[in-house]
Amino acid sequence: MKSYAYIGPFSELVTMQQLPLKGALSDDALQIIQQGGILIEDHRIHAIGTHKELYPVAKKLGAAITHIEGTKVGIPGLIDAHTHICYSGSRARDYSLRNAGKTYLEIAKAGGGIWDTVTQTRKASRDKLVKGIILRAKRHMRHGITTLEVKSGYGLSIAEELKMLRAIREANKALPIDLISTCLAAHMLPRDYKGTQEEYLEEMASVLLPKIKEENLSHRVDAFIEEGAFSKATISPYFKKAAQLGFDITVHADQFNVGGTEVAVRFNALSADHLEASTAAEIQLLAKSNVIAMALPGASLGLGCNFTPARKLLDAGATLAIASDHNPGSAPMGNLLTQASLLGAFEKLTNAEVLSGITFRAAAALGLKDRGVLAKGYKADIALFDTQEYREILYNQGSLQPSMVIKEGKLVYSESS
């Protein structure tokens, strides 16, 4: 038995329909429906159009009607395609040291950085990790996020990586939004590992990855290619085995030094994330490939470094997604709208480019084709803002947050409740 629901009228519906995946975008290309409505069938969009057209249809179908009071703009539910919200502890000390002049790599070599979080996360029980994920994910949901990628990578052993991925799966079952897990066992060589980088990666590839497949804990593998982490040469056999096992690949690339983009393109990764150090050569590599460039402005703000060259990437013809990189070290803010709007201001991005980067282009970076657009057949994931017109959303740089969030046709957040 089909069930129908109807939501409207919106002052504006920003559909994100009929926009290309690659390249620059003009705001004139945005399809905006004035006084719009959305008809939902079994958690997916059945029709989208004007309230005048759809409301009588909804009544005939016996749809559950949600009348929108006041002025509200509706956009697709936001997608944060790169986070590290499965962790324990705090790195406030790292933040203060950076602001006092220490570099990210200097702090890591002195015992801070990723290893500090690894130590604290290993001490945490799975139950504690689950509660932390749920708490942070609900905050993202209140900010309009309906799909949220979550990485492991603070375990760095077979048992601890499995603990993290199982915690992400458990948290996902308890949340109304979707968590997409990624295995980041190749975050760095753990300091307590007695072998070489090559031996560690071989162990992760031959023991951990098959176990992840067996338990269906993730279908994504990530690696940090950087000084102090893994090199282009050492990561290649690991990615080859991951690809053979059927994992999608994504890469932490070009954060401080270049090299990661080349690997991402060679392995046809879904995305290359960070890119703050990318040069013209890396920009051209990405533009000529299907690898999505992922800007992480939260890391730039947290570290006080350059932003991803988003304008140059788009003008070259690349696909740009934007994510928060929410993590306890370099990007503790975790507010995607604020970060995306600031990136837009500094990199001179149009509203269409920013909104695409946190909706359908972010979905593509996760290999998802059923969300990020308000159109027939897509998930009924919607963020609603108390404003007359959509430009106010980025103009307010994150201070205008959603008043309602709908996931698969169901209200999952309302600021009035």
What CATH number should be reported for the domain holding residue 208? 3.20.20.140
Query: Do the beta carbons of residue 33 and residue 15 sit within 8 Å?
Result: yes
Query: Do the beta carbons of residue 362 and residue 373 sit within 8 Å?
Result: no
For the chain, the average pLDDT equals: 96
Q: What is the dihedral of CA 189, 191, 196, 197, to 10 degrees?
A: 0
Domain that holds residue 239: 79-365
Number of separate domains in the chain: 2
Is residue 400 domain-shared with residue 292, that is, in the same domain? no
Is residue 129 domain-shared with residue 189, that is, in the same domain? yes
Domain endpoint, select from 345, 365, 385: 365
Taking only the tens place, the pLDDT of each residue in 150-167 is 999 999 999 999 999 999
CATH classification at residue 382: 2.30.40.10
The closest alpha carbon to 208, from 285, 290, 413, 200, belongs to: 200
Domain endpoint, select from 365, 388, 405: 365
Reported as a pLDDT band with limits 50, 70 and 90, residue 107 is confident
Taking only the tens place, the pLDDT of each residue in 117-140 is 999 999 999 999 999 999 999 999
Is residue 96 domain-shared with residue 215, that is, in the same domain? yes
Is residue 224 domain-shared with residue 153, that is, in the same domain? yes
Q: Is 311 helix (H, G, I), strand (E, B) or coil?
A: helix
Query: Do the beta carbons of residue 218 and residue 166 sit within 8 Å?
Result: no
Is residue 185 domain-shared with residue 285, that is, in the same domain? yes
Can you give the pLDDT at residue 228? 86
Is residue 266 domain-shared with residue 312, that is, in the same domain? yes
Is residue 285 domain-shared with residue 333, that is, in the same domain? yes
Phi, psi of 188 (to 5 degrees): -165, 165
Among 89-98, 135-144, 170-179, 380-389, whose mean pLDDT is lowest? 89-98
Chain center to CA of 397: 18
Say whether pLDDT at 69 is over 90.
Answer: no
What six digits make up the tokens of 312?
């140059």
Phi, psi of 120 (to 5 degrees): -70, -35
Is residue 281 domain-shared with residue 195, that is, in the same domain? yes
Is residue 242 domain-shared with residue 352, that is, in the same domain? yes
Is residue 34 domain-shared with residue 142, that is, in the same domain? no
Reported as a pLDDT band with limits 50, 70 and 90, residue 70 is confident
Is residue 59 domain-shared with residue 198, that is, in the same domain? no
Helix (H) or strand (E) run with residue 250 in it: strand 248-253
Reported as a pLDDT band with limits 50, 70 and 90, residue 20 is very high
Is residue 29 domain-shared with residue 84, that is, in the same domain? no
Reported in sequence order, the residue ranges of 267-360 that DSSP labels E, i.e. its strands, are 271-274, 292-295, 320-322
